[in-house]
Structure 1
Amino acid sequence: MTQVITRLKTWLAHELTPKSAIANTAYFSFALLFSLIGFTLDIMPFGAALVGCAWLQRQSKYALSATAGAIIGALITADTCSLISVAAMFLFFVLAVVIKQGVTPIDKAIILCIAIFVPIPFVKSASTAGFVSGFFSAMVSMALAYVLSWGHDGIKHVWKREALSYSELTGLLCALTLFSASFGSFTVLGIRIGCMLAAVFTLCVAAQNGFVAAIPAIALGLGRVMAGDPMTFVGALAICATAAGPLHKFGRLASSGAFAITSVLLSVLVSLTGMLNIAETVAAVGIFLLLPTGFLNHFTISQMGRGELGAIERVEIINKRLCMTANAIDEVAQIFDSQSDGPCGCDDRVFMQRQLFGMSSMLRRLTHYQAPGRLKYSLDVGAMGKAKEGSRQSGDSMGVCRLDDAILVALSDGMGSGAQAHRESSSAIALLTQLLEAGFEPDEALECLNRLLIHQNGDTDFYSTMDCLLFDRTDGSAKFIKFGAPESYLVRDGKLHKLYAEALPAGIVANASPAMHIVTLRRGDTVVMMTDGVSDTLGAHTGEAILSNVCTANTVQDAASALLSKASEAGANDDISVIVIRVQ
């Protein structure tokens, strides 16, 4: 007996944690709500299905909360069938934990099946029709438990801002359908809350997927039919989704506008009950427009989720990444090989250890590759450079690299001018690009770059500045990363903003860290990056030169050329390079 109690205590301590308080509260509330709505609508026991969903999770942290909510709901409604099912689930699962010290997925499926089908002979045996109806409801509840478990995974990944698989999105839409149905005929200021929520969810799908939004709209509409609304609501919602879908490429304003116009026309011109009224339409569109973009991205049906990337595409991506990794490692090996005669001190061993950790974490990320999110932004890049007067080759180097969902724009200024300076700067950009393409995080890649330049330079005094813009095409966020580089400039709405922070050039001090600014860019923003040959020459007139030459140019290439000409005319005595970037 003592051993049994100990096992129960261990299980409860493992399953119930402070971190799961919010989720436990949600499971309790929804189990209670689903029990009430299922009994009110005289359809299958939704409460038992949600409890089954909680038990099906790998760690059943929420099963006790869901059980409590479903039991209270069953007691309130005197729903004997649900009460027996939920109690049987609880009893069987606790016995399984005590006896087996663990429950496998097969055990859970068997227990769930027995618990849901057990009440039928006792509660539904009064008539053949009742028995058949109860058996059908039990089958639907069994299937619904698994579908809701997919929805649980979907909500979890939405919370973590991860991509959804098809099954998770299906489960999430099913959960949302039940959620909108659970409001029944509840009305506030003439707005049927359930209908309004169904419209919001339909807009979320339409704004991301186009015509196919009509299918989820029908499912959401049928959820409202279960709550007592007429079938005309299903047709109206599907028509509105079909009107909004084709405009999804023009943004959410276009989609929501088409949805609203169609809904209003239907409510005015079609004399049928059950349509979305004007107040419900306005409320749904308003809520939809306030939702964050990151949340809407999870409703993309065509998006490939974890484990559903096609086999051929997955192999191609992995092969490409591994080739890039091999190139980066070859570059590292060549640099260390050229310095093999020198002593390897403690700092070197620490560095190599950190880079090996970086490589292992990169390979781990590679095995969990996910398709990039929806790319909403692009960059138009113009660049121009000129060697110092009397020098045959500029010591500056520039590069643009497209990553999965980002763009890297890099500008490096090698020490001095000429071929040696150009080799230093071009080597720095090439190595940084290879590391980022292979999958290294920016901080890992920059630390590696700095230490490798130190080893490559040996006892010489050569070094390189590094000025990078890493732009995320999914959300517009930009990281300005500087190793000894001069300030960059942001032109927004005709106003000039300076971006600057102190940092040593790469390849001087082993523990040097880059300076970093994180800025959210908008369409129409212009960014200007330059070497110190330009900034030192223009001096206090740099801002004026940018506003007068960059803002009036027709293209970014014209802007870069005009600014370079301005610096050259001012008597530049160094290599000069300019990059002008415009967000599209």
Structure 2
Amino acid sequence: MTETLQRLQAAVLPRLRAFGASRALEAALAFLFAAAGSAGFAPLGPAAVAGAWLMGALPFPALFGAAAGALFAGHYAALAASALYVGGGLLFSVWRRRMHQAEKLALLGAAYLLLLPFFHGESAQDCLIGVAELTLACFAAIAFARGGAALAAFLAGRRLRGMDQAALLLFAALFAAALPCLTFVLPSGGPFGMEVTLYFGAAFAAFAALCAVRARGAEGVAAAVLLGAACMLRGMDIARTGALSLAVLLAAALQRTGKWVIAGGFLAAWAAAAAAFALPASALLEAAFGAICFALLPNRYMQRLAAYSTRRERSEAERMLALTRAQLRGTADVIREVSELFSPGEDENAAFTHRQLRGVSGVIERLAEETPEGKRNRFDVRVGVAGCPKAGNAETGDSMALRRIGGELLLLLSDGMGTGVCARRESSAAVAIFGDLLSVGFAPEEAQECVNRLLMIKGEREMYATLDALLIDLRDGRARFIKYGTPPAYILRGGRVHTVYAEALPIGILPEARPSVHEFSLRRGDAVILMTDGLFDALGTELFASLVERVGGANTVDDAAQALLSAGREKSGADDMSVLVARVG
């Protein structure tokens, strides 16, 4: 029996404590709201009772707090409205077990209308005040219900949506309007004067506005205006509201800095505005209290407020991305349909146009595809280059380039026919066009034919160029060698030289020219060497020995490239020489 009672106590007491704490908070807030206002206009007490009921809670704790607050402040009309509202609700629930929210609001309005002749029947103006009190009470009840639910979700650690944040701001504004102002008389005077009036609502408004700035940036200025206007209902002068808005405007410019920096900037701007508006020194004390509370607020609460803003921006970006992808797919379909106008069975030029248009369509389709999460790069490639012109020439006819394309590294080396400026023009065109096409998404096979055709059209008097392309996948180490009329490529691994042979025509000679393509799996420590025929011919029979000695023994890839070039120049200077060394790490 004793064990059963202990289990029951362990299960029930925590829930009772939680229930008691939440109900006590409702009663305390209702007391605060009911005590706010003037003798003839105090709508927040009945609104707090209605708000608790709209949230789905029992209205009795809120009624107890509102009744105590109304008696304390002498707001007997609000006390009568609260009591009549709950009493009418009990009678209504006997007739119907469940009341909808609209019916609960209508009941609040009916309670005010029934009491209108008794508390606001002296004149037409007094009657209008009663109607205004009714309207504000209904609005505040909705704000309390939505804001209370948002506050509960916020304290529970859930992220708030935009409407929830707006409801929480309205709740904060009503809370600021309900906070009291206290006047102290200092017999000896001092920096605050003989009489000091402290608006606790102003301090809370500064705190809430800074939180809004931190979470929403410039939107916090609008929150400051709303909070300041709410405090004016409590008697705060308009100069304090203006100072609050100006100080928050400066704080918004510091949003991306730390909380203490924002608080410091806010206080500096407040002090300047206070001096301009001739505010009392107590106003700075209120602002300082709110700013310090903001700076001490744990970051996790600010992250919850800012989370929805970030998610909303992400959602908008995703929507625009989806729209762009749809437009790209439509464009790709149109280009593919146009390509069908050029039948592959007709002359070679029409077939080429057909293939290139389909290639363009494929590029656009790949751009529109959902981007999968890429693999991490497992390899790092360092590249060194060296080159020199033919003896007696000022400019080399070779061209080299290095490009990063997604998770791949593209190395390009081209040797234009002959030497000098003309050869340089051909080789640089081959390197630039091939690299550009691969960079925008063309497959290597599509880019090869396009470069070959363009150089044939562009070339003068049978000008052509070799093209050596190495595409290294940094995620898995796969290497693809694409070679047009170039010397072999070499892979130095563990002191041994592996040859990647190439038998293909240079680029830009014949329409049917096709490259020699080889694939190889690279490992860490491998060195890949590409060179033009000038260096290849110069090294001759000493090529392998030079690779092992000068590349394998070099500290860096730049040293390796320079060492190979020096070895070639010692043998001959009859042609342009260029070399590219890539070491896998």
TM-score range (shorter-chain normalised) is 0.3 to 0.5
TM-score normalised by L of structure 2: 0.48
TM-score, with structure 1 as normaliser: 0.48
Q: Which has the larger radius of gyration?
A: 2
